Amino acid sequence: MNVVKEFRTRSFQDVSHALLDREEIALVDVREEDPHARSHPLFAANLPLSRLELDAPLRLPRPAVPIVVFDAGEGLARRAAERFAELGYTNVALLEGGLQGWREAGGELFKDVNVPSKAFGELVESVRHTPSLSAQQVQALLDREADVVVLDARRFDEFQIMNIPGSISVPGAELVLRARQLAPNPATRIIVNCAGRTRSIIGAQSLINAGVPNPVAALRNGTMGWTLAGQPLAHGSARRVEGAVDDASRLAAADGARALADRARVRRTSRDEARRWADEAMRTVYRFDVRNPEEYEAGHVPGFRSAPGGQLVQETDLFVTVRGARVILADSDGVRANMTASWLAQMNVEVYVVDGLTAADFAEKGMAPLARNAVTPPDVDDIAPAELAALLQSTGTVVLDFTSSTHYLRRHIPGAWFVIRSQLADALRTLPDAKRYVLTCGSDVLARFVAPELAAATGRPVQVLRGGTIAWIDAGLPVESGGTRMASPRIDRYQRPYEGTENAREAMSAYLEWEHGLVAQLARDGTHGFRVI
């Protein structure tokens, strides 16, 4: 007889007090990204049930961390709580009443993704009155060839999709490090932009806070504001900041960054103490290398994950899923860790910078290893790409693809059906009859976790494509694109209004209006503890 495991509940008041008291807590929304983005509490981290085995070990590294799980009544929360328990998490609770219970208890609900960071950015602008220029004003400066540089604070891949003509890609944490070298004349005006508002504001204010002597302004409303002004964007640009920083620029930046970190009450630690903390079981500890990914791969401190500083500030809820955790930052220049830490400290994060690192400490190369508590996929029957290709020459084999919808639309095995794992029961009602199923994803890891569930649900033979769709492509086998067979709705991905260049003007305007309203929402919420220096 199956015994139903009971989980305690935690109320809105209990969770709110934990947030206000800076206790460790992970408030986890286990729905897919799209429903999460439509409504959730401020500090709710999105860990979809579909990927818990893959994402939880990295984002929730301490098995005893207090976890509070919720959904909006779909029945996902209890399934997720059971899976957390199976993965070895020992302090799992359900949010009393779920999302509706939070609302009925008076809790504020937010929309979109990375909301803590975006709301904090709006608070910074409202307190510091960060200078900004409209798209029309910036275009006028460029048209008359004024002494101005436009620095794009987004990731390089975002910059390549669309950018302000003539701008340079300088991802967030690089701004203070490189600004003096990019604009050596103190009279040169520096304009910082992103797609919307947050990274423009934080980037511009970073330069001001760190004492960069140039006049600085954010591009008001970023590339969305540029588009709404009817001004054309460039596409496919490759102009990016690269190479070493001269000693004078680096030292000046380091002095400014350290002074700012001290003002923000950033704490200091050593390599050995950081390692010792990470080995303890009493606190959740995140260790991040905030340099760019290329530097990280060339050599990093063992145990530190790559989290470029600009993205760490922009996506704090993704990197630091446990509110109240201890966060430790490292770099090799004394600039990027201090600048990033200065913002995290203002976001009420307990943050430390590692002092005293030498070149010899950056000894580990390549990408970081798996999380210590990474979950081993179940042992399942698998099949090589060539074997699957042969099977597909006759009927009876149905291929299910559990990759993200974005990747599925880009390319997938001909005839494969897109399925979201948490929606599997519903998807089975729409799929054709099968003699056998073959499962794939980008690699094959997620598919291996799904295989036993599908076999139990259908009683049919289930195999996994060895190496996933990547192996299929590497074997030179054909692919197709588009939403040819969508057995699940595309709810795994929230479509941002600024993604691509074909978005409706109305969506962009609504998004910008929403960002402007975040400061008022913060005031109503009252759990954030943000302070702006």
The tally of CA atoms less than 13 A away on the side-chain side of residue 532 is 19
Instruction: Check residue 1 and give its pLDDT.
Output: 46
Q: Which residue has 């508590």 as its token pair?
A: 373
Q: Considering only CA atoms, which of 291, 334, 285 is closest in space to residue 310?
A: 291
Mean pLDDT of 60-73: 97
Q: Structure pTM?
A: 0.94
Cβ–Cβ < 8 Å for 192, 209: no
Cβ–Cβ < 8 Å for 263, 533: yes
Instruction: Choose the weakest-confidence range: 24-38, 153-167, 202-216, 365-379.
Output: 365-379
Distance from C-alpha of 203 to C-alpha of 213, rounded to nearest angstrom: 15
User: Within the chain, how many helices (H) and strands (E) appear?
Assistant: 24, 20
Instruction: Check residue 501 and give its pLDDT.
Output: 46
Q: What is the full DSSP assignment across 182-222?
A: HS-STTSEEEEE-SSSHHHHHHHHHHHHTT--S-EEEETTH
In this structure, is the dihedral angle defined by the CA atoms of residues 242, 243, 245 and 246, taken in order, positive or negative? negative
Cβ–Cβ < 8 Å for 397, 430: no
> What residue type is 286 in one-letter code?
Y
Q: Considering only CA atoms, which of 438, 436, 441 is closest in space to residue 471?
A: 441
Q: Which residue has 């999380």 as its token pair?
A: 371
Q: Considering only CA atoms, which of 232, 204, 211, 202 is closest in space to residue 132?
A: 204
User: Where residue 369 falls among pLDDT bands split at 50, 70, 90?
Assistant: confident
Mean pLDDT of 93-115: 97
Burial of 279 (C-beta count, 10 Å sphere; 0-12/13-18/19+) = exposed
253: tokens are 């930046």
114: tokens are 């990375």
Each residue of 491-530: pLDDT tens digit? 999 987 766 545 578 888 888 888 989 999 999 999 999 9
Distance from C-alpha of 151 to C-alpha of 191, rounded to nearest angstrom: 6
In this structure, is the dihedral angle defined by the CA atoms of residues 487, 493, 496 and 501, taken in order, positive or negative? negative
Q: Is the pLDDT of residue 466 over 50?
A: yes
Show the beta-strand stretches assigned E in 364-517. 382-383, 397-401, 417-418, 436-440, 462-465
Task: Please report, in angstroms and rounded to a whole number, the separation of the first and last CA atoms in the chain.
Answer: 59
Q: Is the pLDDT of residue 473 over 70?
A: yes
Q: Is the pLDDT of residue 219 over 50?
A: yes
Mean pLDDT of 160-170: 96
Question: What domains does the chain contain, in order, with CATH numbers?
Answer: 9-110 (3.40.250.10), 119-238 (3.40.250.10), 257-361 (3.40.250.10), 382-474 (3.40.250.10)
What is the share, in percent, of the chain residues with pLDDT greater than 90?
Answer: 92
Cβ–Cβ < 8 Å for 220, 133: yes
Average pLDDT value over all residues in the chain: 95
Instruction: Check residue 502 and give its pLDDT.
Output: 52
Ramachandran sector of residue 303 (left: φ over 0; alpha: ψ -120 to 50; beta: rest):
left
In Å, what is the CA distance from 334 to each residue of 337, 464, 528? 6, 47, 28
Coil vs helix vs strand at 236? coil
Mean pLDDT of 202-209: 98
Distance from C-alpha of 447 to C-alpha of 463, rounded to nearest angstrom: 9
> What residue type is 108 in one-letter code?
E
Report the run of H or E that residue 149 belongs to, with start and end.
strand 148-152
Secondary structure string (H, E, C) spanning 372-427:
CCCCCCCCCCEECHHHHHHHCCCCCEEEEECCCHHHHHHCECCCCEECCHHHHHHH
Mean pLDDT of 143-171: 96
Distance from C-alpha of 115 to C-alpha of 44, rounded to nearest angstrom: 9
Neighbour-count burial for 169-187, b at 16+ CB within 10 Å, e otherwise = bbbbbbbbbbbbbbbeeee
Cβ–Cβ < 8 Å for 27, 95: yes
